[in-house]
């Protein structure tokens, strides 16, 4: 199909286990301009078989064609098994992957389990190239197979000349977060020292503690979500509270820019129980919230007939000050229908 062009053709039998193109050759397989399958009729001497027509897979660049000769023998496809033993796993030339992402994950796991500093020098939606550290010959190139959608390893050099590195760059905080997500779900207060010991024992790598802190934070965010996401659901939360308790009082106060300031919660059942069964004595207190964003929890309680604490209402505010305290009491008085404090007793945490 290409007139007036001369090509040098190299034949490689499918049965060979060596890479299609040597790693040190100038024209490398991944730099091919295009990939296609062609049928070439030619005279090829194979023992006494005489002339024959052969099916060839060709990679063409710079007037050079590298072909795989199909001699009629069928070889099973090597398909990657993500559930296999990662300690003994080895890549093979021609190995198939479902997606580029699966291939990238396999390279990452291989680097971690073998303590290699492998980097991705090229990574896109259709191809991936990984190399070990400078001076080490290990190399892998894989790309999409046209017409199939799967990914195949097309260049692979398996030998290593590097030494094992306990702090391999592929053991990222995202990888640690993904691997230890089930454990952190069961033990959200897991200490960094325990996480460090577990990774060292299981994988033989020692990521920095800074990386482990970031990994644990990412895992907790995956499990719990971020503070911004939770505060963003407050309006829907209030709508649900009002749906199940139409006589309750639930109020949200915002600063300029839709920034959270105060949130009051007063259930109608607590109000009725207090007014019908408790003495007119209200205790007021506040407690600092030990969260990333801080804040203060204000609460109002009474005493029931058994002299036990009876919860009445509470609010979360951005800080403990006179303005927020007045806002809380104004809504509390409205909630209880208190227009005159005569006959009521209020006890704060400072009155002991």
Percent of the chain with pLDDT over 90: 49
Q: Is the alpha carbon torsion for 268, 271, 275, 278 positive or negative?
A: positive
185/223 Cα distance (integer angstroms): 7
Helix 192-203 and helix 209-224, axial crossing angle in degrees, nearest 10: 100
User: Binning pLDDT at 50, 70 and 90, where does residue 351 land?
Assistant: low
> Among 2-11, 103-112, 203-212, 331-340, which is the least confidently predicted range?
2-11
Per-residue CA distances from 161 to 134, 139, 158, 169 (Å): 10, 12, 10, 18
122/259 Cα distance (integer angstroms): 43
Estimate to the nearest angstrom the gap between the alpha carbon of 264 and the chain centroid: 35
> Are 123 and 104 spatial neighbours (Cβ–Cβ below 8 Å)?
yes
Q: Is the pLDDT of residue 77 over 90?
A: no
- pTM for this one? 0.54
Kindly report the number of other CB atoms within 10 A of residue 212's CB atom: 21
Per-residue CA distances from 277 to 111, 166, 284 (Å): 68, 67, 19
96/197 Cα distance (integer angstroms): 35
Tokens representing 61? 């660049």
> Among 31-45, 259-273, 284-298, which is the least confidently predicted range?
31-45
Q: Is the pLDDT of residue 175 over 50?
A: yes
Q: Is the pLDDT of residue 118 over 60?
A: yes
């Amino acid at each position: 199909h290409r007139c007036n062009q001369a090509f040098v053709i190299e034949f490689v039998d499918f049965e060979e286990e060596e890479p299609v193109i040597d790693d040190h050759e100038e024209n490398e397989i991944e730099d091919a301009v295009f990939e296609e399958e062609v049928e070439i009729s030619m005279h090829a001497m194979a023992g006494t078989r005489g002339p024959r027509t052969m099916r060839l897979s060709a990679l063409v660049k710079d007037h050079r064609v590298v072909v795989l000769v199909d001699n009629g023998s069928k070889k099973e496809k090597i398909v990657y098994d993500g559930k296999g033993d990662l300690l003994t796993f080895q890549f093979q030339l021609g190995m198939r992957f479902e997606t580029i992402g699966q291939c990238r994950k396999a390279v990452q796991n291989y680097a971690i389990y073998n303590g290699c500093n492998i980097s991705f020098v090229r990574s896109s939606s259709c191809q991936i190239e990984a190399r070990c550290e400078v001076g080490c010959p290990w190399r892998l190139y894989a790309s999409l197979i046209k017409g199939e959608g799967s990914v195949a390893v097309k260049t692979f050099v398996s030998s290593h000349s590097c030494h094992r590195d306990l702090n391999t760059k592929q053991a990222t905080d995202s990888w640690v977060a993904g691997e230890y997500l089930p454990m952190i779900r069961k033990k959200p207060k897991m200490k960094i020292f325990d996480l460090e010991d577990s990774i060292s024992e299981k994988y033989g790598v020692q990521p920095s503690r800074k990386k482990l802190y970031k990994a644990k934070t990412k895992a907790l965010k995956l499990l719990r979500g971020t503070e911004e996401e939770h505060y963003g659901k407050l309006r829907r939360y209030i709508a649900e509270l009002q749906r199940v308790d139409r006589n309750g009082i639930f109020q949200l106060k915002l600063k300029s820019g839709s920034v959270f300031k105060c949130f009051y919660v007063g259930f109608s059942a607590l109000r009725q129980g207090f007014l019908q069964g408790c003495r007119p004595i209200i205790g007021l207190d506040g407690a600092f919230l030990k969260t990333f964003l801080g804040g203060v929890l204000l609460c109002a309680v009474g005493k029931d007939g058994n002299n036990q604490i009876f919860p009445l209402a509470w609010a979360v505010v951005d800080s403990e000050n006179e303005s927020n305290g007045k806002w809380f009491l104004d809504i509390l008085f409205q909630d209880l229908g208190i227009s005159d404090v005569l006959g009521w007793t209020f006890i704060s945490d400072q009155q002991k």
